[in-house]
Amino acid sequence: MKQLVDLSTWNRREHFAFFSAFEEPFFGVVAEVDATRAYARAKDLGVSFFQLYLHCALTAVNEVEALRYRIEEGQVYCYDQVHVSATLTRPDHTFGFSFVPYASSLTEFGVGLAAEMEAVRQTTGLRLTPTTGRPDVVHFSALPWISFTSLTHARSFGHPDSIPKISVGKTRRQGEALLLPVAVNVHHGLADGYHVGLFLAAFQRELDAAGNE
């Protein structure tokens, strides 16, 4: 379900109009979160670290209203809940797009993720479909080979896009802590640095409490 935002009374109407006129309205932030507890919890639960932190990230996204806004035909809508379209890899080092529905349960979410991982392995190409291309998602990618400090995205400026893009990289040790780099790119007409900060704080909370169903 989605609700139409009344632009005439929205407190971001000028921000929306201003940044929507840009050729590149997205801005990006890279930060680190502490994944020490989450990594240990994934081992305890016998699930992949990827499944656990992806679930944490999607849960955090759903906690921040600004990350559930989407621009559709010039109007702004707020979705009640969003899901994830993650890039999933194959043994030949290509990737395919996916659609994994959000579930509050890590186990239930894992069932959907496992099904999509297998579907990607059994196919070729990008898997760009109406389902993987839905607007009520966040775009998510993992770069476990690189502990990055910055990141850009390939984008077609002629294609209307307002979907947040989240990427994570290779963890690194700092003392006893296991740090995970996170890049967040969002449409500036819909969200500011404050909202990215809300997401990162929520992501950290979810990582610290991961798997406690």
Q: What is the mean pLDDT of residues 42-53?
A: 97
Q: What is the mean pLDDT of residues 59-75?
A: 98
Tell me the percentage of the chain whose pLDDT exceeds 70: 99
Dist. CA 156–CA 201, nearest whole Å: 30
Q: Exposed, middle or buried: residue 184 (CB in 10 Å: 0-12, 13-18, 19+)?
A: buried
Residue 211 gets the label, from left (phi > 0), alpha (psi -120 to 50) or beta, of: left
Q: What is residue 20's predicted lDDT score, i.e. its pLDDT? A: 96
Q: What is the mean pLDDT of residues 120-125?
A: 97
Q: What is residue 159's predicted lDDT score, i.e. its pLDDT? A: 83
Dist. CA 173–CA 159, nearest whole Å: 39
The confidence band for 169, taking pLDDT boundaries of 50, 70 and 90, is very high
In this model, does residue 212 exceed pLDDT 80? no
Q: Which tokens belong to 30?
A: 């890279």
- In order of 14, 91, 119, 122, 177, the CA distances from 61 in angstroms are 24, 29, 25, 29, 24
Dist. CA 156–CA 83, nearest whole Å: 22
- In order of 111, 135, 157, 188, the CA distances from 21 in angstroms are 41, 20, 11, 11
Q: What is residue 155's predicted lDDT score, i.e. its pLDDT? A: 86
Among 74-83, 150-159, 173-182, 186-195, where is mean pLDDT lowest? 150-159
In this model, does residue 127 exceed pLDDT 90? yes
Q: What is the mean pLDDT of residues 166-174?
A: 98
CATH fold of the domain at 2-208:
Chloramphenicol Acetyltransferase (3.30.559)
Structural contact between residues 33 and 182, judged by C-beta atoms closer than 8 angstroms: yes
The confidence band for 116, taking pLDDT boundaries of 50, 70 and 90, is very high
The confidence band for 213, taking pLDDT boundaries of 50, 70 and 90, is low
Q: Which of 206, 149, 212 minimizes the C-alpha distance to 183?
A: 149
Dist. CA 186–CA 133, nearest whole Å: 17
pTM, entire model: 0.96
